[in-house]
Amino acid sequence: MGLAIGSFLNVCIYRIPKKKFLAAHRSFCPDCNTSIKWYDNIPLLSYILLRGRCRACKAKISVCYPLVELLTGYVFVHLYYVFIQCRHESPCVFICYAVLCCALIIVTFVDLKLLIIPNEVTFVGIPLALVLSVICPSLHDAHHTLRNFSLVGIYRLDALIASILGIFVGGFLIFICGILGKLAFRKDAMGFGDVKLMAMIGGIVGWKLVLAIFFVAPFFGLLMAVPVLILKKSRMIPYGPFLSFATLVCIILQDYFIGIVNLYIQFFIVIFTGFN
């Protein structure tokens, strides 16, 4: 399933930045415009059988296509293993995380290619996060997100509030970073696309985990940015892929990261009540 959905994600990655309607055409070769037969469109397998070339014009097919398929397949298997096999969560939770990861894979590859985070993903993703939180409220209870914020006590409404809180915390953190960066470097340091991306992520994972993602992502960013800055001498580095990778890591190791966030919260509570 992951491989097949990965194949669809390839279509999204190619067509969304070009504003092409997703279902408008069959898949075609971008070099010779020949439409691709179904037997040449089997995820991963077709790429291997055709040795990475178009059957009609022999143009090279980008290695990104099988890579996206393989990555999506891997992510699905890993999420299934963690949430269904090990944690026995409802399939609903697995589906919500899988949907989020699909959006993140699209964002990652579009951002790597074009240095933009497409609004088509985040503007659909943010309301979708709210809807998924209501449909699948257990998405938010493993986090004990609302232990201090249980305002209404209605299960689905609490999940919706948790999601809204996640959207605001996620968006706000990156927004503040952007403002501080602009003050420090006197030019745009953080795209507004990243703000919307973190809002979308927060809507699914809740405010505690989005806080962890915010602090984890720069470590991956730093690991990658140093070689890129030395080799390419480009000063523009897409941040979407790091936020996305940090999100995957934090979702899979969520007990660990939420534990750390809880420790910090207790620490600050002690400090503030201590002063009182």
| 36 lies in the site for Zn ion, by CB under 5 A | no
In the complex, the smallest distance separating the C-beta of residue 35 from Zn ion, rounded to whole angstroms, is 10
Return the number of the residue (55 or 78) whose C-beta is nearest Zn ion.
Answer: 55
Q: Which two tokens stand for residue 7?
A: 């194949």
Q: How far apart are CA 107 and CA 197, in angstroms?
A: 9
Return the number of the residue (54 or 169) whose C-beta is nearest Zn ion.
Answer: 54
| 61 lies in the site for Zn ion, by CB under 5 A | no
Angle of CA points 260, 197, 245, to nearest 5°: 55
Q: How far is CA 4 from CA 64, 66, 138, in A?
A: 15, 11, 27
Instruction: For residue 113, count other CB atoms closer than 10 A to its CB.
Output: 14
Q: How far apart are CA 51 and CA 58, in angstroms?
A: 10
| 31 lies in the site for Zn ion, by CB under 5 A | yes
| 50 lies in the site for Zn ion, by CB under 5 A | no
Kindly identify the residues of this chain, within the stretch 204-223, that bind Zn ion according to CB under 5 A. none
Q: Exposed, middle or buried by CB within 10 Å (0-12, 13-18, 19+), for 101? A: buried
| 35 lies in the site for Zn ion, by CB under 5 A | no
Using the rule CB under 5 A, give the single segment among 58-66, 122-130, 145-153, 162-170 that binds Zn ion: 58-66
| 57 lies in the site for Zn ion, by CB under 5 A | yes
Using the rule CB under 5 A, give the single segment among 54-62, 83-91, 95-103, 179-187 that binds Zn ion: 54-62
Size of the site for Zn ion (CB under 5 A): 7
Q: Amino acid identity, residue 241?
A: P
Return the number of the residue (59 or 70) whose C-beta is nearest Zn ion.
Answer: 59
What's phi and psi for 101, nearest 5 deg? -65, -35
| Gyration radius of the chain's alpha carbons | 20
Residue of 5, 54, 162, 210 interacting with Zn ion (CB under 5 A): 54
| 32 lies in the site for Zn ion, by CB under 5 A | yes
| 16 lies in the site for Zn ion, by CB under 5 A | no
Q: Which two tokens stand for residue 103?
A: 């959006």
Binding site for Zn ion (CB under 5 A): 29, 31-32, 54, 56-57, 59
